């Protein structure tokens, strides 16, 4: 769409007058971004993550999201680059992606019957204006009691192996285990949409275009 000589990206509630770059290879984040009806390109960051040992989880995920987004943003200085990082925290311990089926089984066994917290950090960078904003969302997730057979069958699907905490709430099977959520559902998938929308409207309002008005016709 083009308006007054300016390119507008998007055609619904949210529009951008600069390109959007997702610094993540996560298919789940891409799927959620597509819901916003805003075009974007995927440019995964190849930078090795360094977890800030002494920072609380919310600060740490913001830091890693920024680490991921910075090198990508330098390749797209006129664009708005989005970085994200999601972790599962149980009793103060960070549970990342399992390195083996045995580790995935052990993680799920620990999550069974209890409540953990999912943190997602977001970073938005616009190099041409010198702006860099970070924020995070936290969601409490409670698991039902799982028996060993359920865990074994789920791990055998292979689904837990690329997910923090060894499960995905968006999966047909992982969703079976979640008995309660307190907070943003999309945060558990890996991209808290309300947090992202708030960051855009509060800190990058000048980069937002005017959504088109669709006239209705009386019947």
CB 15 within 8 A of CB 211: yes
Spatial distance between the Cα atoms of 148 and 186, rounded to a whole number of angstroms: 28
* Span 166-210, pLDDT tens digits: 999 986 688 999 999 999 999 999 999 999 999 999 999 999 876
* Span 99-141, pLDDT tens digits: 999 999 999 999 999 999 999 999 999 999 999 999 999 999 9
pLDDT attached to residue 1: 38
Spatial distance between the Cα atoms of 163 and 70, rounded to a whole number of angstroms: 23
- The dihedral region occupied by 104, where left means phi > 0, alpha psi between -120 and 50, and beta the remainder, is alpha
Report the length, in residues, of the chain.
219
CATH code reported for the domain at 2-207: 3.90.950.10
* Span 23-57, pLDDT tens digits: 999 999 999 998 888 889 999 998 777 788 889 99
Spatial distance between the Cα atoms of 105 and 15, rounded to a whole number of angstroms: 43
pLDDT attached to residue 214: 47
CB 75 within 8 A of CB 47: no
Spatial distance between the Cα atoms of 22 and 18, rounded to a whole number of angstroms: 13
CB 65 within 8 A of CB 95: no
Is pTM beyond 0.75 here? yes
User: In terms of DSSP bridges, do strands 178-182 and 131-143 run parallel, antiparallel, or are they unpaired?
Assistant: antiparallel
Which residues are designated catalytic?
85
Cβ neighbours around 197 below 10 Å, total = 13
* Rg for the chain, CA atoms, rounded: 19
3-state DSSP assignment of residue 78:
coil
pLDDT attached to residue 76: 97
Q: Where are the alpha helices (DSSP H) in the chain?
A: 27-34, 57-75, 101-111, 148-156, 185-189, 193-203
């Amino acid at each position: 769409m083009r308006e007054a000589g300016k390119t507008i990206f998007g055609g619904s509630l949210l529009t951008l007058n600069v390109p959007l770059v997702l610094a993540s290879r996560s298919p789940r984040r891409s799927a959620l971004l597509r819901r916003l009806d805003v075009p974007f390109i995927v440019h995964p960051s190849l930078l090795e993550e360094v977890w800030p040992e002494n920072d609380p989880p919310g600060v740490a995920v913001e830091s890693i999201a920024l680490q991921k987004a910075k090198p990508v943003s330098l390749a797209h200085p006129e664009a708005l680059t989005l970085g994200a990082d999601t972790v599962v925290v149980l009793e103060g311990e960070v549970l990342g992606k399992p390195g083996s089926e045995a580790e995935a089984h052990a993680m799920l066994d620990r999550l069974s019957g209890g409540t953990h917290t999912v943190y997602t950090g977001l970073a938005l960078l616009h190099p041409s204006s010198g702006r860099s904003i970070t924020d995070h969302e936290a969601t409490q997730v409670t698991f039902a009691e799982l028996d060993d057979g359920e865990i074994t069958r789920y791990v055998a699907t292979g689904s837990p192996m690329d997910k923090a905490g060894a499960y995905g709430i968006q999966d047909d099977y992982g969703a079976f285990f979640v008995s309660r959520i307190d907070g943003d559902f999309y945060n558990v998938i890996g991209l808290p949409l309300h947090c992202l929308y708030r960051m855009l409207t509060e800190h990058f309002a000048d980069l937002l275009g005017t959504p088109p008005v669709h006239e209705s016709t009386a019947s």
